[in-house]
Amino acid sequence: MNILDELRTRFEPALSEWTDDPSSVIEMLKASQDARFGDYQANFAMPLAARLDGIKPRDLAVQIAEKVDLSDFCEPLEIAGPGFINIKLKQDWLEGLTKQLVPDDRLGVSPARKPQKVVVDFSAPNVAKPMHVGHLRSSVIGDANYRVLQYLGHDVVGDNHIGDWGTQFGMIIFGYKHFLDEDAFQKNPVNELARLYRLVNQLSDYHVTQKAVPLRQTEIEELGAKLQTLETTANLTDKKIQKQLKKLKSDIGERKSELTSMQEKLTEFEQDEDLKSKAVAFPDIARQAREETARLHAGDADNLELWKQFLPECLDAIQTVYDRLDIHFDLTLGESFYQPMLADVVADLKQKGLAKESQGAICVFMEGFEAPFIVQKQDGAFTYATTDLATIKYRAEELQADRVLYVVDSRQSDHFQLLFATVKQWGFTNLELQHVSFGTILGKNKRPYKTRSGDTVGLESLLDESIQRAHAIVAENDDAKPDGPELNETERQQIAEAVGLGGIKYADLKHNRDSDYVFDWDKMLANRGDTATYMQYAYARVCGIFRKGNIDRSALRNEQAALCLTEESERALALQINRYSEILESVAIEARPNYLTNYLFELSNLFSTFYSNCHVLKAEEEQVKTSRLLLCDLTARVINHGLSLLGIRTCERM
Ligand code: ARG
């Protein structure tokens, strides 16, 4: 049962006496942060009173409380401070509810009242290009949302909207035609394609840098001249002038250091004879690669043939990562899938008066947006935007979606705002669209984190490294056990996998997804604190209790009548267990798995408090022992299930 939902449903009609829109404040009824203020707390009397004339918030709180009858499951409401309404659940009611959870496989989580068809667009790397940690983050956050929505009874479609039609293909096609190492390609096509991609990238980058150097030099000279003029002519005691000088000097310094690193890059490149000669032979490589892309898009038979040959190899390579992470998709409809539909999309937008020509391109101008949405470029090419429009049409009409989640880097938020605004005008008004944006993973230097080789191979070695580090931790803990180690090597390895991969996923999930976070091995795999490891140990600890007491857990579940919540820490633990349902709902609404990680962390902490306050196996009476074992069992089940919804495995023994 969703207790929070029940409370809100009871309060909402009562509020209509003071506001036309109770739903706008109902979310101010929440679980309370501090048990002294009840189990739940409603804070809406304050903003409501502020909107009304001549009523004190506290008096309003009293009036609201009088209107709502919760006597069937709550203690009389208490009004505190300036107008907080404190809600405490009745002891016997909470006990009864907890008893019902014991035989309930769904752990009190009822399926959604209105199941929706939800498309989760996640992972979506640009294949043939190195998949980077940002795509890892999208994969992990997307997968967790997918699992939660599905558990809540929604019809979920996981769609990997891969970038399989972009300029990177022109680059590898060009590389293939000019620099292919046949043997390497026979042995490992993906590695060879990745090498070709890097090579072409490096060569075009070289030419870009080479052209940029003299420009940068001129810029520095100009700024220097400006500085000199200012220094000789202006009033140097003037604060404004001083500021200007400071700014100029720092600009010059910045440009100079950029110039130095550009020059270093060029020197390093030129030391490689082979690279150097290739650069000389292909001075216009960027344009040539673009032309290969254009030929592919125009349907050139050779390029299309190569594309068809490369694509499965690229897909195999990313599949390895998904398999290791236990991440699955229902569909992989990449950008290429929508190509045949793009011309119609543009025609339709034009016909509806939404898109028009501007400087040779076809654009949608949306009120409130500075930049237009370009759906066809001057050269006739369609864009990322056009593909996304076609994708939405497909998802609405063919997949019959009610809601689409886009789990994509926050740097694309402008794109999605424009996209969603356009789509509403275009006529898909019933479709709920949500950009599930996330921040950047940073290194310790606070710059975007890069795996050592910066590619899919690097991503895999990241997973390997995590498992290796986890192995060391698992072994150390095991060796330190009072009665000596308990695990054999196979078990250690299995646990290390769960801890290593779980650690990476959990670190991605526990942060508010909008913020950037620093990738830190030690924090990620720590035994204590808000980590997967901590929760995995908590789970294993409970399993250990059952082993030690020789308890048959399924037989135990027939004894639910024994359950009673006498101690404060028992009650707090039981309440938290009962909140599982409302937490999953909130994850589903906002697509924020960190609500679940917070919840599980809190649950593990409450369990620790309970376990240190209450004897379980050594409880004085048999009934108390059974009751506490039931609480242990429920805790373990919720931790295990909650982690599974995050894509994280547990182990019975660690
Ligand atoms: N391939 C894109 C990228 O790597 C992400 C695609 C996200 N999905 C979408 N429908 N635009 O940046």
φ, ψ of residue 408 in degrees (nearest 5): -140, 145
CA 574, CA 579: separation in Å to the nearest integer?
9
The CA 408 to ligand 1 mean position distance, Å, reads: 7
What separation in Å is there between the alpha carbon of 124 and the centre of ligand 1? 5
* Per-residue pLDDT at 454 exceeds 60: no
Q: How confident is the model at residue 458 (pLDDT cuts 50, 70, 90)?
A: confident
Residue 415 CA: nearest ligand 1 atom is 11
Which one of 165, 387, 412 would you pick to mutate in the ligand 1 pocket, going by the greatest count of ligand atoms within 8 A of its CB? 412
In this structure, the residue with its CA closest to atom 5 of ligand 1 is 124
Cα(473) to centroid(ligand 1), Å? 37
Return d(Cα 411, Cα 408) in angstroms, integer.
8
Mean pLDDT over all residues of the chain?
94
pLDDT tens readout for residues 190-219: 889 989 999 999 999 999 999 999 999 999
Output the residue whose Cα is nearest ligand 1's atom 4.
Answer: 125
Q: How far is the CA of 395 from the centre of ligand 1 (A)?
A: 15
**Helix %, strand %, coil % of the chain (to 5):** 60, 10, 30
- Residue 394 alpha carbon to ligand 1 centre in Å: 16
Amino acid in the structure at residue 148:
V
pLDDT at 130 over 90: no
392 alpha carbon – ligand 1 mean position (Å)? 13
Ligand 1 centroid to 128 CA: how many Å?
Answer: 14
> Which protein residue has the closest C-alpha to ligand 1 atom 6?
124
Q: Which atom of ligand 1 is nearest to the CA of 391?
A: 10
The SS3 of residue 272 is: coil
Residue bearing the bigger pLDDT, 130 or 592: 592
Please list every protein residue whose CB sits less than 6 Å from any atom of ligand 1: 121, 124-126, 161, 163, 388, 391, 406, 408
Task: Compute the distance between CA of residue 144 and CA of residue 596 in angstroms, rounded to an integer.
Answer: 10
Mean per-residue pLDDT, 273-280: 96
> Ligand 1 center to residue 350 CA distance, Å?
25
Mean pLDDT of the region 586-612: 97
pLDDT for the residue numbered 453: 60
Indicate whether 129 pLDDT > 80: no
Tokens of 343: 């011309």
Write the residue with the smallest CA distance to atom 11 of ligand 1: 388
Separation of 295 CA from ligand 1 center, angstroms?
A: 23
Q: What atom in ligand 1 is closest to the CA of residue 162?
A: 1
155-159 and 117-121 beta bridge pairing: parallel
pLDDT digits (tens, 9 = 90+) for 286-303: 999 999 999 999 999 999
Q: Answer for the pair 5, 26: CB distance below 8 angstroms, yes or no.
A: no
Residue-wise pLDDT for 216-226, tens only, equals 999 999 999 99
Is the pLDDT score of 625 beyond 90? Answer: yes
Candidate from 122, 161, 389 with most ligand 1 atoms within 8 A of CB, to mutate: 161
Rg (CA), the chain: 30
pLDDT grade for 488, boundaries at 50, 70 and 90: very high
